[in-house]
Structure 1
Amino acid sequence: MPAVAMDGERLQSTAREAAQALPGVSNGRPFVEKLDVYKVAGKVFLIITDDPDEQIITLKGGPGRGLALRREHPSITEGRYLNKANWISVAAGRGITADLVRDLVAHSYELVLDTVPRRRRPEGTS
């Protein structure tokens, strides 16, 4: 059974749910009202753009994986707002599924968590 494509609203709600399920996550709007920012140990791993005309999420992908994802999915582009080599922005589109969004959020979280000294990592993480 093929995966069902999602719209921008579902993309963003799936990303929010995935982020909130991870240990030690905080969120707020430290930059501007339209950017819902998710952090672990004070470091950004997910930005959700709350603009009905631009329903995207931006997360860390890493240089190799981000490039591969951009080649595979036309609705994945270089990350908006952050380092273009390490961050990707995802909009609804062909091949963008809830499973992919959950995987991307978890991967971004892990990439950021890997930069945090063990003593500063939230309880429940390694």
Structure 2
Amino acid sequence: MNIEEFREYCISKKGITEEFPFDAETLVFKVMGKMFALVPLERLPSQVNLKCDPERAIALREEYEGRILPGYHMSKVHWNTLFIENLPHPLMKDLIDHSYDLVVSKFTKKLKAEFDALE
């Protein structure tokens, strides 16, 4: 998966916005205003930060050593940095979905109702 494929998959999800809240090189994807993916566009090789269940994060880092690392400039418990061009396409989609679903699962009742009302 390349950065453009990553972006297309992210923006296809419900309730998504993309913005540059930190600087002009760091693209952030949010669901209902909550960050679930961060992409440093100037970093090579291409990489992204995705939220992850802590136990799964450890298992992924062990299984994909050198390709999935603790989140760069993020909570090392809840975020992973992934070198996306070195990982299987289905795994990348699964991890994007996982990050998105983790964030959605933590919505307040009010935010969940707004999210559910979206087409």
Q: 1:117 to 1:28 in 2, by over 3 A?
A: same
Query: What letter corresponds to residue 62 of structure 2 in structure 1?
Result: R
Higher normalized helix content (fraction of residues): 2
Partners of 2:20 and 2:47 lie apart in 1 by 16
TM-score (norm: length of structure 1): 0.83
Q: 2:71 aligns with which of 72, 79, 100?
A: 79
Secondary structure of the equivalent of 2:81?
Answer: strand
Q: What residue in structure 2 maps to residue 110 of structure 1?
A: 101
Partners of 1:14 and 1:60 lie apart in 2 by 19
Tell me which stretches of 4 or more aligned residues in structure 1 moved more than 6 Å: none
Q: In angstroms, what is the RMSD of aligned CA positions?
A: 1.6
Structure 1 range deviating more: 77-86 or 51-60: 51-60
Q: What residue in structure 2 maps to residue 67 of structure 1?
A: 58
Partners of 1:62 and 1:52 lie apart in 2 by 25
Figure out how many residues of one structure are paired with residues of the other and give that number. Answer: 114
Q: What residue in structure 1 maps to residue 116 of structure 2?
A: 123
Identical pairs, percent: 28
Q: Which runs of 5+ in 1 are unaligned?
A: 1-5
TM-score (norm: length of structure 2): 0.87
Q: Which has the higher contact order (CA 8 A, sep 6+)?
A: 1
Shift of 1:41: 1.7
Partners of 1:65 and 1:124 lie apart in 2 by 31
